[in-house]
């Protein structure tokens, strides 16, 4: 089962959506770096969308934008 997240994002001049912060378990996490953005399927949570490989607090996480909803792969829980 997917757990959708609140994400603060911006649109760059080319219309690309860039996530800046994730709200998870009543905490806000800053996305330090976006390493990759590709269309992909989440094999752990199910769903298809854009997969953002994000560096958060020194660790890599897969953040997905599925239509107009954001989620992180189920195994990739933030601490």
Domain boundaries, the chain: 4-72
pTM above 0.85, yes or no: yes
The whole-angstrom separation of Cα 17 and Cα 13 is 10
Can you tell me the distance from the alpha carbon of 76 to that of 33, in angstroms, rounded to the nearest whole number? 16
- Tens digit of each residue's pLDDT, the chain (79 residues): 688 999 999 999 999 999 999 998 899 999 999 999 999 998 888 888 999 999 999 999 999 999 999 998 765 566 5
């Amino acid at each position: 089962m997917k757990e959708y997240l609140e994400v603060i994002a911006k649109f760059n001049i080319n219309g690309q959506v860039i996530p800046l912060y994730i709200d998870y378990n009543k905490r806000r996490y800053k996305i330090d770096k976006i390493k990759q953005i590709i269309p992909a399927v989440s094999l752990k949570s199910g769903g298809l969308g854009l997969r953002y490989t994000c560096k958060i607090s020194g660790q890599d996480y897969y953040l997905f934008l599925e239509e107009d909803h954001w989620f992180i792969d189920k195994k990739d829980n933030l601490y």
